[in-house]
Structure 1
Amino acid sequence: MTTHSTDVIVIGGGPAGIAAVCRLLASGQRVTWVDQAARPGGQIWRASLPPAWQPRLDAASGSAALTHLPGHAVIAVESGTTLLLQDQLDPRRPALRVQAPRLLLALGARERFLPFPGWTLPGVHGAGGLQALVKNGWPVAGKRVVLAGSGPLLLAAADTARAAGAKVLLIAEQASRAALSRFALGLPAAKLAQAAALRWRLRGTAYRPDCRVTQAFGDGRLEALQLDDGRRIDCDMLGIGFGLQPNTGLASALGCRIDNTTGAIAIDAQQRTSQPAVWAAGECCGVGGVDKALAEGEIAALQILGEGTPAPLRRRHERALAFAARLSGTFTLRPELLRPPEAGDTIVCRCEDVTIGALRAQPSWRDAKLQTRCGMGACQGRICKPIVRDLFGWHDESPPREPLQPAPLRAFIARD
């Protein structure tokens, strides 16, 4: 097995990872950059970088000090900051071991799901997942689409679907009209202009605060949905999302402390985790948007280099954190959304078809896994474990087991 040594390993290709890589390379560091996606940009930019960042990334990509490993996933932590990687684009290639004295995690976030009857029907997607499908060419022209849940992602996904020819019937937002009005009035001028432009493009689409989906119907695929006011809407596709949650699996495997209150990687003011050789930046440290991610990526890189944080960057970060706090407060989920669905046949674990009724009889996450196989399927609890934490308050602080991502058996045989 090949072992690659470097000065710093950066995991993640979103804004935080890009900002960190550019700063580290500009200071002469040898950087190994690992990203599961085929192209940089993360879920926020999705390979379409803003004009301000594309030239910087182009310059960084041409550096001889950069080893860029797109399409690679960390499948195991061997020791300290030595990681085992597998090419996800070509699994036939042998595994690669990478090691460095310092490691930066820019792991991003994933969608937060809450179950309701019918949420596993074909045609029901995560709001961000639907947006990604459309951006990658999924045909939605003429399809009747509803976006529901909470947060700005609903608007962004609706805009993407509309631009691709979909008929966006409704954006159902669970937050109250008063909370949304306060949030809009407090936006900085630049963000207010962005929000106004987005809403103008969606001017023909109904936007309903204080509204949520309670059930989806269909024979083999989505045909209609019901709102909490009893209204029924015929539709072809539903994008559902209740905000984002930090990706922390690799951090947990490395022994980094996870904040149980926020579900994010715990960091200090220098972006350092509880492991002294590991830093973290961006959404994995707390969801807050692209400005926060960019600032934290740069701060983490500077701290790795042993440099201080310049005052303008510090102020930019403080503004981003303040915005993140307002975002969280505005889109706090209503209590009824965090109650287990009354219908006992509502599926929670999609991999193993475990229902809410089966889980009600279990006292803990461990018992749920042993007795129902909840969390034991292909996704290894990435979807259902956060759901049961929200609905039942079950916490599982045990680190994930190898492989952290799907990998061929020979990847583990070859390292011994």
Structure 2
Amino acid sequence: MTTTAPARCDLLIIGAGPAGMAAALAAAESGMRIVVVDDNPAPGGQIWRNGPGVQLPPLARQHREGLARHANIEVLSGTRVVGLGDRANTGDAAALILENATRGWTQHASRLILCTGARELLLPFPGWTLPGVTGAGGLQALIKAGLDVRGQRIVIAGTGPLLLAAASTARKAGAQVLRVAEHTSWGALAAFAAQLVRWPAKAWQAPTLLRPSLRANAHVLEALGNTQVEAVRLQRGSRTEQLECERIACGFGLVPNTHLGQMLGCTLGERHGLQVDAGMRTTVPGIYAAGECTGFGGSERALVQGAMAGHAAAGEADAAQALQNQLARWNAFADALHRHFPLRAETLAALPRPDTFVCRCEDVAHGVLRQRSNWIDAKLHTRCGMGACQGRICGAAAQVLYGWTPQPARHLLSPARIATLADAGGKPSHESATQT
């Protein structure tokens, strides 16, 4: 693994989670010169994140070791995509401006695979900006990075299997999980559990995650405290309960990271992910996509899609086609997740008060935003979405709260150093990095 890359490669893979790792390993035998870019310190993505107290599963170690064995794979950790560069050759995929801690450059490639994953859907409620409130997946990441939660009282709320996984991580780290408030109903949970026999590994795992603290048909109402979380109010059916706690972790599902794909001109498909065909090709020639950015469905699905994309990008259509049955199996699991953990937007959209911040970067409140007509109108009049996260958090929330569709960036994906744009050459954008 290196910290520099050639200005040109045969295959550029964005994201080193399960999908990106599988894509690189599948394409490696072809002899293609492959560059894998990821902004984390090491490959693995969110699910295989490294940390002081983390013991990586055998499959994760196997993939990392596989990347290290192949001389034609270069992994650029701590590197991110900041924008579009000038295409060098007519037949190339789009050129991307990359940036790490020391430099920026334009990376050219014949083929491009997007494995940009997904992020948590965070929805605003009174008190959600208090220190001690995080996403459910965010809590997992913090604990893996070394956060000491021993003895802390934690409440986890939202919807989806990630809640139980976060609760399990917190318990193993010594925390006291008081409540897991699952928004979906007991009936939907039971129906989902009954289908797990189709995926034995999932069925075997499920009982280890269940605990008496689980409550269905429940959701967060308010985080209480002055300078730090002190308690939480929950709605459970027709009742409310208040629990004293030190931490609250809320996650309302996952949102595919499609910003880069949309900036490149790729079309969105079902469930707001990038649209791909049976060979993992997007609607833009030379660009493939795999994993959660095509719609979330778990790491197993991401691994299969990544392998298919790698084979397809290497011109190995038969090898990609041979994985179709595996993909169909895990697509069925993804369908079950979406069917049994629906987001009841009408309930969650009623949570914020007029003074509840929706855009945390620019301190824009719900009462101000609901007077605007659409996303562009809100940006022009309130600076919503113009802060450090570039609308990734508030943009997804605005879709649930107001039905708005945030517009994709045109040239720059995230704030970048002036030196990066200068070193990249060409004319990356006339816009500032906070106006995309």
Structure 1 residues 2-401: aligned runs within 5 Å? 4-47=7-50, 49-78=56-85, 79=87, 80-87=93-100, 90=101, 93-187=102-196, 188-199=199-210, 203=211, 205-228=212-235, 229-259=239-269, 262-310=271-319, 313-341=323-351, 343-401=353-411
Q: Deviations over 1:347-375 (max 9, x none)?
A: 10001111110011111111111111111
Instruction: In structure 1, give the amino acid aligned to 2:267.
Output: R
Q: Distance in 1 between matches of 2:192 and 2:5?
A: 52
Q: CA deviation at 1:181?
A: 0.3
Q: Deviations over 1:286-330 (max 9, x none)?
A: 000011100100111111122235565211100100000000111
With structure 2 as the length reference, what TM-score do the two structures score? 0.89
Q: Deviations over 1:20-79 (max 9, x none)?
A: 111111222110111111111100111354323523431331322122211100111113
With structure 1 as the length reference, what TM-score do the two structures score? 0.94
State the SS of the aligned residue for 2:47.
Answer: helix
Q: Distance in 2 between matches of 1:146 and 1:400?
A: 39
Instruction: In structure 2, give the amino acid aligned to 1:125.
Output: T
Instruction: In structure 1, give the amino acid aligned to 2:418.
Output: L
Q: CA deviation at 1:97?
A: 2.1
Greater Cα offset, 393-402 or 16-25: 393-402
Q: Distance in 2 between matches of 1:210 and 1:314?
A: 36
Greater Cα offset, 235-244 or 27-36: 27-36
Contact 1:2–1:96 (8 Å) recurs in 2: no
Instruction: In structure 2, give the amino acid aligned to 1:258.
Output: L
Q: 1:395 to 1:59 in 2, by over 3 A?
A: closer
CA RMSD, Structure 1 to Structure 2 (Å):
1.7
Q: Distance in 2 between matches of 1:286 and 1:387?
A: 17
Contact 2:153–2:245 (8 Å) recurs in 1: yes
Aligned length: 406
Instruction: In structure 1, give the amino acid aligned to 2:300.
Output: D
Contact 1:17–1:106 (8 Å) recurs in 2: yes
Counting aligned pairs with the same residue, the percent is 44
Q: Deviations over 1:129-154 (max 9, x none)?
A: 11100111101001100110001111
State the SS of the aligned residue for 2:143.
Answer: helix
Instruction: In structure 2, give the amino acid aligned to 1:84.
Output: I
Q: Deviations over 1:85-121 (max 9, x none)?
A: 111xx2xx22122111100000000000111111111
Q: 1:52 to 1:372 in 2, by over 3 A?
A: closer
Unaligned 5+ segments in structure 1 are none
Q: 1:339 to 1:94 in 2, by over 3 A?
A: closer
Unaligned 5+ segments in structure 2 are 88-92, 426-436
Q: Deviations over 1:256-304 (max 9, x none)?
A: 1123x52211111211111111000000000000111001001111111
Contact 2:221–2:351 (8 Å) recurs in 1: no
Q: 1:83 to 1:168 in 2, by over 3 A?
A: same
Q: 1:342 to 1:108 in 2, by over 3 A?
A: closer
Q: Distance in 1 between matches of 2:234 and 2:58?
A: 41
Instruction: In structure 2, give the amino acid aligned to 1:55.
Output: Q
Q: 1:328 to 1:2 in 2, by over 3 A?
A: closer
Q: Distance in 2 between matches of 1:40 and 1:120?
A: 30
Instruction: In structure 2, give the amino acid aligned to 1:207.
Output: L
